[in-house]
């Protein structure tokens, strides 16, 4: 497999444990990639998606401004792997004619990609949930999968798909600021 260009398909909140979920999609696959994230990162992503600016620079604004003040440019963000139930990401910054790679959390990486209008890529093998599994048959609204009982790590592909089939659509709400 390899990297494919991704976009935010939707943001939601898992109201069972009140955790935000960012769900990535791609025109190159009919599967989705759900990632449970923190509240601050979800707020930063939601603000960018909705075009809302903060009165003062937030953490992701600070990082963007720092990169640019040093003469750098974020050229690419990649969600690279899932290892030991943790997602990993890489930032690619062009600085002084060279590419600097930085390890980062996917949530921060996605927020920064939005702030800098940089392309977002994800490893194709991470897209494991068929789009149709996230639709409620009665209303055709998309909804995210719930995380495992531990709350912050995704279950295996098979158990996540099984959980999707059993989930009550009322367990999820739209993410809002």
Q: Which two tokens stand for residue 34?
A: 């759900």
Pair 145, 157: CB distance under 8 Å? no
Number of domains into which the chain is organized:
1
Query: Residue 143: left if φ>0, alpha if ψ -120 to 50, beta else—which one?
Result: beta
Give pLDDT tens digits along the chain (177 positions). 799 999 999 998 877 778 898 999 999 999 999 898 999 999 999 999 999 999 999 999 999 999 999 999 999 999 999 888 789 999 999 999 999 999 999 999 999 999 999 999 999 999 988 887 765 444 444 444 444 333 334 545 444 445 444 544 445 555 555
Pair 110, 118: CB distance under 8 Å? no
Give the range of the structural domain holding residue 165, as residue numbers without chain letter: 3-174
Any residues with CB less than 8 A from the CB of 118 and at least 6 apart, and which?
74, 75, 76, 77, 112
Indicate the pTM of the whole model. Answer: 0.78
DSSP string, 52-84: PPPSS--HHHHHHHHHHHTT-EEEEEEEEEEET
CATH of the domain at 50: 3.10.690.10
């Amino acid at each position: 497999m390899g990297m494919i260009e991704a976009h935010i398909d939707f943001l939601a909140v898992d109201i069972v444990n009140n955790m935000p979920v960012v769900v990535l999609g791609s025109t190159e696959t009919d599967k989705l990639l759900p990632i449970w994230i923190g509240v601050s990162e979800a707020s930063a992503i939601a603000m960018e998606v909705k075009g809302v600016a903060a009165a003062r620079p937030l953490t992701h604004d600070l990082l963007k401004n720092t990169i640019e003040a040093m003469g750098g440019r974020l050229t690419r963000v990649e969600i690279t792997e899932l290892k030991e139930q943790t997602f990993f990401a890489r930032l690619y910054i062009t600085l002084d004619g060279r590419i600097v790679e930085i390890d980062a959390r996917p949530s921060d990486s996605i927020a920064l990609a939005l702030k800098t209008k940089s392309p977002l890529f994800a490893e194709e093998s991470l897209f494991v949930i068929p789009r149709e599994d996230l639709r409620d048959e009665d209303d055709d609204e998309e909804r995210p999968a719930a995380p495992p009982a531990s709350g912050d790590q995704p279950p295996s592909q098979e158990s996540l798909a099984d959980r999707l089939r059993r989930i009550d659509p009322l367990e999820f709400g739209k993410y809002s600021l």
